Each structure stands twice: as structure tokens, then as C-alpha cells.
Amino acid sequence: MNSKQKNSLEYSKPQLEEKISDNTILEVMPQKTDEDVNTRYVVIKHDYYSSDSDHGRGLLVDFISSICESSYNTVIVYLIDKGVRLLDENNPLYDDMVRLIEKSEFISVSKESLIFYDVAEPSDHKIVIQSSKSIAEDIIYLNNPLILE
């Protein structure tokens, strides 16, 4: 009798096949296709994530950094409501927003929100000021936008 215990890597192929049913698909990291990394649409509704606190701002910084470092070829961002405050130079996340602007194809910004939150219209050529209605019409037709609230 063999008293040596086997570790999980020593199982033979037939033993492994018995443990995994035929309809099980194991996928650790799906391969991205050109279509997957083509365009990402991002809607940012606040200048913080989840709660108006330092923690919420830290979370938004992480999201913005992830988007900036992503493999997407094109990023299009919509800023609505309090999200427009990210364009205010006094906002603690302004530098992070500048990085996102650099990564983006363009940033669409709600004119009504800029006025309401008293944020000066930015002069960057990548920033497009639109009515909230126009932005809503764009968002309605987007396929799977990333919405940060």
C-alpha cells in the first residue's frame, strides 16, 4: 500500500476529468478582442464615488487611473451633474481629470451643470459643451456604458 499522499498537482488527467463536468468552462482571464478594446464610454455623475468623502474621492481616483491605464483605444467621457466639478482647477481630483482628458477622445460636458455648479467653461479642444438633453440622447443609445455614481 502506498502511504505517500498526493498533492493536488499530482492527480492524473482521468482523475481531473472526473471532477470537472463536460459543461464546465474554466476561464481565468478572457482574451480581449479588438472589439473589446475599441471604445469605452464612461458617464461620471459626481466628483466623488459612492459618498461625498475622502474615501469616495480616493475610489474615484482609482477608477480614473484604471481607465487611463486601460487598453481601450478610445475613451469617451460624459460629465453630468456634480461630475462637472472635476473640471474646476480647485477640485482635489483636477489633476486626475487632466490625465483622463489626455486619454480620452473627447469629453462631453453638460452646459446646465457647468452653470449650476458655477464651473468655468474649459478651453481644452477635447471638451465639448452640450445641453443635458443632447447628452441624454447620446447615452440612451450607448451599448453598455460605464456609469460612475
Of residues 122 and 10, the one with the higher pLDDT is 122
Is 24 part of any domain? no
SS3 content of the chain, % helix, strand, coil (to 5): 40, 15, 45
Q: Which domain holds residue 46?
A: 39-148
Which residue type is seen at 87?
L
Query: What local confidence, expressed as pLDDT, does residue 52 receive?
Result: 74
In 3-state terms, what secondary structure has residue 127?
A: strand
Secondary structure (DSSP) of 74-90: EEEEEE-GGGGGGGSTT
CATH number of the domain within which 140 lies: 3.40.1260.10
Query: What local confidence, expressed as pLDDT, does residue 76 receive?
Result: 96
Is 127 part of any domain? yes
In 3-state terms, what secondary structure has residue 147?
A: strand
8 Å CB contact between 147 and 117: no
Query: What local confidence, expressed as pLDDT, does residue 141 receive?
Result: 92
Query: How many domains is the chain built from?
Result: 1
Query: What local confidence, expressed as pLDDT, does residue 137 receive?
Result: 94
Q: What is the DSSP letter of 107?
A: E
User: Residue 11's pLDDT band (boundaries 50, 70, 90)?
Assistant: very low
Is 88 part of any domain? yes
Is 10 part of any domain? no
pLDDT at 122 over 70: yes
